[in-house]
Amino acid sequence: MAVPDGATSVVYSISTVDDEPYLDLTFEFAIGSGGRGEIADAAAQAAADHVLAELAATYPQAQVRAERTYTGSVPGTTWPAPEEA
């Protein structure tokens, strides 16, 4: 996804619900703007995706919620992408 106009950072919120461990993680990345902002945004998403994969592997019974928002602008597209039926 392209970084929304005016965004200066992206925030990933990841939490587990309904089962242990009860985690609530928030990662905020300064992304800048322009081409460098796109690269920093992609790196931030890769890091957040890695955290999700590790949680799924380590705690397969836990239900994980994840959300991404950009500061100073509209929320980003749904992340992670919904599983296709």
Residues 41-70 pLDDT 10s: 999 999 999 999 999 899 888 888 899 988
15 located within any domain: yes
DSSP SS3 for 67: strand
Does the pLDDT value for residue 27 go beyond 80? yes
Q: pTM for this structure? A: 0.75
Count of domains for the chain: 1
User: Which residue range(s) make up the domain with 57?
Assistant: 9-70
Question: Domain for residue 76, yes or no?
Answer: no
